[in-house]
């Protein structure tokens, strides 16, 4: 394959750099303890949360629902989890909703970003709201030159308007940007706008299909850095 000519790297955050299910799982478990519940199972509640977020973001992208930032969708998901678990304490539900901002980084994330940041401008591009992204970055210790929220486009990935935020901020042609994600659907969205793409394998990601053709495939951020010639 021909050498990639990249001037900036754009990273998805949720799932790619932080372990979203682990953070939500911890929040749900803490909620069950505080509320003294015999919950119907953490994994079942986690699945309810994830399905709600996925469904409602898709409805917003499709124009079937007015835009709401991720904070509001997380609050809705937390309320669904609470009702299912038989609890309604507003303070506990509000704390549960904030679990979406307390997500641990993958073991290679912090060092990988630091390594890449010495060679490329790094742009975070997340479906998380501005406020959530700020707390998420601080909690996980993520290093950026610029962090962009889909809230600025009032839609969600894979809407092209979100990827366009990164292109505009970088001031570069799309093909000079490399979008990095653990979700094939995310990379397809970036690819449709002309960005180059790199898939990074994560246990919670959306793996490529046999028909996907991304520019790079990496085991982790260290592998990605090596493929980009970063020592």
pLDDT tens track for 107-131: 999 999 999 999 999 999 999 999 9
**Architecture category of domain 20-101 in CATH:** Orthogonal Bundle (1.10)
| Per-residue buried b or exposed e for 193-220, using 16+ beta carbons within 10 Å of the residue's own CB | bebbbbbbebebbbebeeeeebbbebee
- Confidence class for position 1, pLDDT limits 50, 70, 90: very low
26 Cβ neighbours under 8 A, 6+ residues apart:
99, 102
Q: Which of 88, 108, 119 is nearest to 8 (CA)?
A: 119
Q: Residue 85 has what pLDDT?
A: 84
CATH code: domain 8-19+103-227 is 3.40.50.1000
- List the domain boundaries for the chain: 8-19+103-227, 20-101
């Amino acid at each position: 394959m021909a050498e990639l000519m990249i001037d900036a790297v754009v990273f998805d955050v949720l799932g790619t750099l932080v372990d979203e299910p682990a953070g939500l799982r911890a929040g749900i478990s803490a909620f069950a303890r505080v509320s003294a519940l015999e919950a119907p199972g953490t994994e079942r509640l986690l699945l309810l949360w994830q399905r709600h977020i996925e469904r409602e973001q898709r409805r917003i992208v499709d124009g079937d629902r007015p835009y709401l930032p991720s904070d509001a969708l997380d609050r809705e998901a937390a309320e669904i989890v609470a009702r299912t678990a038989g609890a309604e304490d507003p303070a506990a539900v509000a704390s549960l909703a904030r679990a979406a901002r307390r997500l641990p980084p993958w073991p290679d994330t912090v060092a990988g970003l630091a390594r890449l940041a010495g060679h490329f401008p790094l742009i975070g591009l997340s479906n998380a709201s501005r406020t959530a992204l700020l707390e998420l970055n601080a909690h996980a210790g993520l290093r950026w030159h610029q962090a962009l929220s889909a809230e600025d486009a009032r839609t969600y990935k894979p809407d092209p308007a979100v990827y366009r935020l990164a292109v505009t901020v970088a001031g570069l042609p799309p093909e000079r940007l490399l979008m990095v994600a653990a979700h094939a659907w995310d990379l397809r969205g970036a690819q449709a706008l002309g960005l180059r793409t790199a898939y990074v394998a994560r246990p919670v990601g959306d793996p490529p299909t046999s028909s996907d053709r991304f520019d790079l495939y990496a085991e982790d951020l260290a592998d990605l850095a090596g493929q980009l010639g970063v020592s």
